[in-house]
């Protein structure tokens, strides 16, 4: 009976050490992959163009508003109290509408960023998953969330797989990408 227990113990410890040797763990700089992919897909340029168009609309509205305020100030002394009140209320309403437009445009820009980012995130996730399966990784962890990274850093391998070797990030990186 003792021989059976000792044999079972040895078999379990041998199987456990084999399983541990086959349990590869890797880590990846996910932000870098997403940011490089975004630059490669010219996402910052597309967002800048959209932001420029929205900014132009806001600036035109602001110019019209400023013109109307100047006209009101020039005519104010000639207006009745009732007309002053009506014009001031109208200007206040337009000012609130411009603030709402600004918020709406920021929302549109955020939605556009999300729309452009999602295919990139899907592509990076698929590459990580395929690389992990093809190379026998049990876990791939995001590098920034790991306190100690003793596994393999697969970031550069994935940069090559995604065809991003020649892509350079702008100074300071990209805002709003990664951490998805």
**Can you tell me the mean pLDDT for 1-21?**
48
Q: Which residues contact 154 (CB under 8 A, 6 or more apart)?
A: 26, 27, 28, 128, 131, 135, 137, 140
Which two three-digit tokens encode residue 3?
A: 């021989």
14-53: pLDDT as tens digits: 444 444 456 799 999 999 999 999 999 999 999 999 999 9
Closest CA to 129 of 33, 50, 21: 33
Q: Residue 168: which pLDDT band, with cuts at 50, 70 and 90?
A: confident
Q: Where exactly are the structural domains of the chain?
A: 22-161
Residue 116 has pLDDT above 60, yes or no: yes
83-108: pLDDT as tens digits: 999 999 999 999 999 999 999 999 99
Lowest mean pLDDT among 5-9, 51-55, 58-62, 122-126: 5-9
CATH class of 22-161: alpha beta
Closest CA to 61 of 91, 84, 106, 86: 91
Which two three-digit tokens encode residue 25?
A: 């763990």
137 bridge partner residues: 24
Cα gap 173→167, rounded to integer Å:
12
Lowest mean pLDDT among 27-36, 120-129, 147-156: 147-156
Q: Residue 133: which pLDDT band, with cuts at 50, 70 and 90?
A: very high
Predicted pLDDT of residue 147 = 80
Cα gap 72→91, rounded to integer Å:
9
């Amino acid at each position: 009976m003792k021989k059976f227990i000792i044999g079972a113990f040895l078999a379990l410890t041998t199987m456990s050490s084999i399983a541990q040797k086959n349990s590869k763990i890797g880590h990846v700089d996910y932000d870098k992959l997403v940011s490089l992919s975004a630059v490669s897909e010219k996402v910052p340029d597309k967002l800048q163009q959209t932001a420029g168009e929205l900014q132009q609309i806001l600036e035109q509205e602001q110019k019209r508003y400023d013109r109307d305020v100047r006209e009101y100030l020039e005519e104010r002394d000639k207006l009745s109290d009732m007309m002053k009140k009506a014009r001031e209320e109208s200007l206040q309403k337009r000012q609130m509408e411009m603030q709402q437009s600004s918020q709406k445009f920021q929302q549109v820009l955020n939605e556009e960023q999300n729309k452009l980012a999602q295919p990139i995130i899907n592509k990076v996730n698929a590459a990580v998953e395929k690389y992990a399966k093809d190379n026998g990784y049990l876990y791939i962890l995001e590098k920034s969330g790991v306190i100690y990274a003793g596994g393999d850093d697969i970031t550069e391998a994935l940069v090559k797989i995604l065809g991003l070797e020649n892509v350079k990030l702008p100074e300071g990186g990209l805002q709003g990408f990664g951490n998805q």
